[in-house]
Amino acid sequence: THSTHSTHPQRQRQRADVRILHLTSYERMGIARVHCVSGCVCIPQELDAHRPPSRRNVSIFRDGLIQVDFTTARCEMALRLLHRTSSGQHKWVLTRVTVSPRV
């Protein structure tokens, strides 16, 4: 679970883009579901870290973008690994979370 803070006054609802950088690979990777828990609203998303093999079997990093509307000064989000998988396994590597105001 990751918490973010809005530094803006609460006169109107604040918006932000939350970017989730994660590893994707051609083997052993799973699917994670990201959703807002409290203090904000967003559309839940599933991020599949499995990338079917192409001509080059390499691992790369991908960005998942979630648009968040703050309802309070603190936003709590959750990232949960799902039992469902497209690779047959469940590895999932979170690299970085960045939050930037949306204008």
pLDDT in tens, 14-43: 999 999 999 999 889 999 999 999 999 999
pLDDT in tens, 41-70: 999 999 999 988 775 677 889 999 999 999
Tell which wins on pLDDT, 58 or 1.
58
Domain holding 82, by residue range, is 2-101
Confidence (pLDDT) at 62: 92
Tell which wins on pLDDT, 53 or 4.
53
* Total count of domains within the chain: 1
For the chain, give the longest Cα–Cα distance. Answer: 53
Specify the 3-state DSSP secondary structure of 29.
strand
44-to-58, 70, 91 alpha-carbon distances in Å: 28, 15, 20
Give this prediction's pTM.
0.79
